[in-house]
């Protein structure tokens, strides 16, 4: 399915699209095997043919690839928000005020969001959602009018694995789809909230008993991702492929332990990018002498592994596979960026 095309050494970080690949080596941005910018301390944001990056106290810069022009944007810190919709992005200054910025015209507009405290944030064309541990707040764009707040304390508490009472808190905002916000919270809970009112329209709590292969089986809500194209929430983790149909609310789980065993895979550790047919992921391999990882492309239609890669020194930490165009990318703990290319005559 894929073949290893190249391996780039000493990579600290990378960002890509179907057209571009940027990576950092020793805090320098590398593009097309040349240094594009030196001494860049923070992550890079790529949008279209522009990149945005911080240079510490020297400010926030934008680089136009088409015109080979660099712009000083302002003395603001960049906030890497996913997804970044349309022409808009978000930056934040030192007094914790949020700003929208136009990713093509390089101008900014202040958003009057009060008491933003560097928590989770997500925005789309109409709304901004922020979270401060146990409270989700919604604001309208561009008026920045506060719409609603959802305090997780209204859900009460739950008992953790030590049988201690614990308060609910947000672990991940999955995204917005069909006028609903999807949020993962601790205690194995997924929430569906109406984006206009903040009211709960559905809640998934724990793995249904009929899908449990072992007594302590459960799902971790934060491992799910929103698959808008298929109107679903999906999670490839452990020895299961879990999916939730957002129209019917039906939960489905497939045990894939036998398929993993064919490749000496103990469990799937980190889900990466996915397509309509495949989900990429890092897999933990059975090895008695050292820790070892592999990469899989799991076919979500056949529940089979269509691609598997490993080598003797390959470990990934928390880095996940990324897909762009006909290529698959994986960064390992030694700073090696593996680039795989789809075999010819295969559909992307």
- 151-155, 193-197, 290-294, 328-332: range with lowest mean pLDDT: 290-294
Please provide residue 230's backbone torsions phi and psi, each rounded to the nearest 5 degrees.
-110, 15
Least confident interval from 73-82, 96-105, 259-268: 73-82
Q: Which tokens sit at 249?
A: 């609310």
Instruction: List all residues 6 or more positions away from 150 whose beta carbon is below 8 Å from its beta carbon.
Output: 135, 136, 193, 198
pLDDT digits (tens, 9 = 90+) for 325-344: 999 999 999 999 999 999 87
Give the pTM: 0.89
Candidates 92, 95, 65; CA nearest to 80 is 92
At residue 348, does pLDDT exceed 60? no
Distance, in Å, from the CA atom of 132 to the CA atom of 138, rounded to the nearest integer, reads: 12
How far, in Å, CA of 238 to CA of 219, rounded? 9
Which pLDDT band, with edges at 50, 70 and 90, does 77 fall under? low
Residue 273: per-residue pLDDT: 96
The DSSP 8-state label assigned to residue 178 in this structure reads T
Q: Is the confidence at residue 280, as pLDDT, over 90?
A: yes
pLDDT at 81: 58
**What mean pLDDT do residues 150-170 have?**
90
Q: How large is the greatest C-alpha to C-alpha distance in the chain, in angstroms?
A: 60
SS3 230: helix
Say yes or no to pLDDT of 267 above 60: yes
């Amino acid at each position: 399915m894929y073949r290893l095309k190249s391996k780039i050494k000493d990579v600290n970080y990378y960002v890509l699209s179907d057209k571009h690949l940027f990576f950092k080596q020793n805090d320098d941005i590398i593009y097309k095997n040349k240094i594009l910018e030196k001494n860049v301390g923070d992550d890079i944001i790529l949008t279209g043919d522009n990149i945005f990056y911080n240079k510490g106290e020297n400010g926030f810069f934008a680089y136009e690839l088409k015109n080979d022009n660099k712009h000083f944007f302002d003395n603001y810190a960049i906030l890497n928000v996913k997804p970044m919709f349309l022409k808009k992005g978000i930056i934040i200054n030192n007094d914790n005020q949020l700003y929208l910025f136009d990713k093509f015209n390089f101008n900014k507009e202040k958003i009057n969001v009060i008491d933003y405290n560097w928590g989770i944030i997500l925005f789309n064309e109409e709304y901004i959602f922020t979270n401060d541990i146990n409270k989700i707040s919604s604001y309208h764009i561009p008026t920045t009018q506060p719409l609603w707040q959802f305090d997780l304390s209204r859900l009460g508490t739950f008992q953790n694995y030590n049988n201690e009472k614990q308060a609910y808190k947000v672990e991940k905002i999955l995204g917005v789809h069909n006028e609903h916000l999807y949020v993962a919270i601790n205690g194995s809970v997924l929430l569906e909230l109406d984006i206009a009112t903040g009211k709960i329209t559905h809640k998934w709590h724990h793995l249904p008993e009929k899908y449990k292969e072992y007594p302590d089986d459960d799902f971790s809500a934060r491992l799910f991702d929103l698959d808008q194209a298929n109107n679903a929430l999906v999670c490839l983790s452990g020895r299961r492929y879990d999916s939730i149909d957002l129209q019917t609310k039906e939960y489905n789980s497939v045990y894939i332990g036998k398929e993993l065993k064919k490749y000496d895979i103990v469990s799937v550790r980190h889900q990466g990018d996915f397509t309509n047919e495949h989900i990429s992921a890092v897999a933990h391999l059975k090895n008695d002498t050292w820790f070892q990882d592999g990469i899989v492309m799991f076919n979500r239609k056949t529940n089979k592994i269509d691609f598997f890669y490993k080598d003797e020194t390959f470990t990934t930490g928390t880095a996940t596979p990324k897909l762009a165009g006909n290529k698959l990318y994986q960064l390992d703990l030694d700073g090696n960026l593996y680039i795989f290319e789809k075999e010819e005559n295969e559909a992307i």
